[in-house]
Chain A
Amino acid sequence: MDKHEIGILVVDDELIVRESLTKWFREDGFRTDAAENAAAALRKLQSSCWDIILVDIKMPGMDGIELLQRIKELKNDIIVIIITAFASVDTAVKALKQGAYDYVTKPIDPDYLDHLISKALNERSLVRENIKLKDAVSELSEKDVIIGESPEMQRVIEMVKTVAPTDTTVMIRGESGTGKELIARAIHNQSQRKYFPIVTVNCGALTETLLESELFGHEKGAFTGAQYRRKGKVELADGGTLFLDEVGNISPKTQMDLLRVLETKQFMRVGGSEIIHSDFRVICATNCDLEAAVRDGRFREDLYYRLNVFSIPLPPLRARRGDIAKLAHYFLEQYSKAMGKPRHGFTAEAMHALKAYDWPGNVRELENAIERAMVVSDGPVIDKQHLPVQTVLPATADGKRLEDVERRHIERILHETGWNISRSASILDIDRVTLYHKIEKFGLKRHQ
């Protein structure tokens, strides 16, 4: 910002002070003006934009302190510097409490005034930069969108809105691929902690000792290979959110350590003796039956209650089929942009297949299917043939029994051969009669 864009208003009942200061600032290249009393200052405040206002504390009528309050009510980001005839601690403290940036005593040391103005402007530019960065962060975080118009997802979105501004511990439950981390991020991004990090710990992917070091960090030499001191995720989450994914998989010892840190917000690094404080919110996620784990003694009951304060159940994709089309279009648009391959949509057949499939891998599987279709397709629309084979088969109950596997396999081969019975029987290495029996037994029908 150029100096001539910065406005400084001098408010003082003494003409000589107004003249001297405005001249001083004008020589410095600032846009400047003066007001002889509070009323005139307030009028100038309405008619023009000011960055810094120097206010004499003793003026007839409304005094400097009162004017300071009025200025702050009207425009809180204006820098107000109080001018006093003599340094009075009480007055200065009062002014600072009311939001004055600083105070100067008459006569003012020119060097001090110069530094004070520079310091105030620098600080304000940092504040503005900070606001800009926060806006940019908000804009970026808004990219984590939750797609879902189904009543099930609308309930989830409502729950996120309710719990996000509080500091309550949240437990997100749902099958693998339902978007538990996305929900955790949405809660974090709508909370007061959004300008601090959200730190994810995948509890299921680490061994007991590694998880302990991952959570709490370690001191140099704490164990073989610990060549440097390392901060743990709990420490890194200070001010923000700690997201414990697959929390049902942690060992009994780590459960105990975790319980202690959740209760006290204090911990020690592995191999260390220094007590470290960290202020964080906990969001955890699991696809395990934690209640059963508590009953079996695999999960501590006290930790369960500590974590399960506000539970958000995420529906599997098959339970909200109404969202499949919107999700599919969303992923198509994302991958079109990322791959630079414009695709305008899906054929009716492809969309039918997407809606009919059970999606055992939930939204993650759908996303992968769309990504794959984007890779293999070359036309403007995604057709059924571009989708992974399992998705184009009719929806079935998800089972793991041998009979289910057999049915799925026969169905897939029939689909691949276009229901050519002889070829299918040959591939399956059974005779045609047996194949007819199987088709009848499983109630398989050819889909046009």
Chain B
Amino acid sequence: MNSIYLLPLSGVEKELTEALVRPLQKAFHAEIAGMNAAVDMQSFYDEQRHQYNSTEILRYMREHFSNNHLRSPTLSHSKAYLAIAAQDLFIPILTYVFGEAELDGDIAVVSYYRLQNERYGLPPDRTLLVERLQKEAIHELGHAFGLVHCQTQACVMHTSTYVEDIDLKGIPFCDVCLKILQRSKGRT
């Protein structure tokens, strides 16, 4: 059995973290556990952009939690870490990201800042926000498990650069991604 550790960063609603447990269990056939770590978000803050650097968050996670160096192709039990952020994330070359992951690594971060309807001048929609967060959490962890973007529109690994793109895709993996995932280092 694999394990996924959820790391809610400062300001993240408990209810949203809990909403991820079942879908992640189902998607990765994994044991889900919560983590309590005091992470100083200020160290990731960029004053010029007023955003948080997701690459730096991943770097912090790699230094503190990652067990990547222990993994081998035959290892049947492995761990992955997902940080959840309430803040707006960026990587230096792009204006924003919904999340970031270490491709074929074991760490990922997802933010629900830009998944909220109110950021686009629309009335808040809690159900939609939860659904979007679940999709993006699975998407980023999919990258951490070695999956790249998928051409199938309905697949959760389909690329989404606009929030509307997230709504168009589904929560499950397509058959092709599922097979790749199952072969991926015996992790699911």
The reply on B27 being an interface residue by CB < 8 A is: no
Q: Contacts A111-B161, A114-B159; is A27 near B103 (CB within 8 Å)? A: yes
B contact residues vs A (CB 8 Å cutoff): 49, 55, 90-97, 101, 103, 143, 148-149, 159, 161-162
CB distance from A158 to the nearest CB of B (A): 55
Interface class of chain B by DSSP: loop
Chain A residues near B162: list those with CB within 8 A: 111
CB distance from B55 to the nearest CB of A (A): 7
Contact B148 A108 (CB under 8 A): no
The reply on A26 being an interface residue by CB < 8 A is: yes
Chain B residues near A23: list those with CB within 8 A: 91, 103
* Interface range for A: 20 to 34
Interface class of chain A by DSSP: helix
Chain A residues near B55: list those with CB within 8 A: 16, 19-20
Q: Contacts A16-B55, A20-B55, A111-B162; is A27 near B94 (CB within 8 Å)? A: no
CB distance from A43 to the nearest CB of B (A): 23
Give the docked Cα–Cα distance between A20 and B93 (Å).
7
User: 1/0 per residue A16-34: CB within 8 Å of B?
Assistant: 1101110110111100000
A/B interface sample: 12 pairs, CB < 8 A:
A3-B148, A17-B92, A20-B55, A20-B92, A20-B94, A24-B94, A26-B103, A27-B101, A28-B148, A107-B94, A109-B94, A109-B95
Contact B95 A108 (CB under 8 A): yes
CB distance from B33 to the nearest CB of A (A): 26
Contact B94 A28 (CB under 8 A): no
The reply on A113 being an interface residue by CB < 8 A is: yes
Chain B residues near A14: list those with CB within 8 A: 92
CB neighbors of B among A7-55 (8 A)? 14, 16-17, 19-21, 23-24, 26-29
Chain A residues near B97: list those with CB within 8 A: 110
CB distance from A20 to the nearest CB of B (A): 4
The reply on A409 being an interface residue by CB < 8 A is: no
> Nearest chain-B residue to A16 (Cβ)?
B92
Kindly list 14 other residue pairs between chains A and B, CB separation below 8 angstroms, not including A29-B148, A114-B161. Answer: A14-B92, A16-B55, A23-B91, A26-B148, A28-B148, A29-B149, A106-B93, A107-B92, A107-B93, A108-B94, A110-B94, A110-B97, A110-B161, A111-B161
Contact A27 B148 (CB under 8 A): yes
Chain B residues near A110: list those with CB within 8 A: 94-97, 161
Q: What are the 9 A-B residue pairs with the smallest beta carbon separation, nearest first?
A: A111-B161, A29-B148, A20-B93, A20-B91, A110-B161, A16-B92, A28-B149, A107-B95, A110-B94
Give the docked Cα–Cα distance between A111 and B143 (Å).
19
User: 1/0 per residue A105-132: CB within 8 Å of B?
Assistant: 0111111011000000000000000000
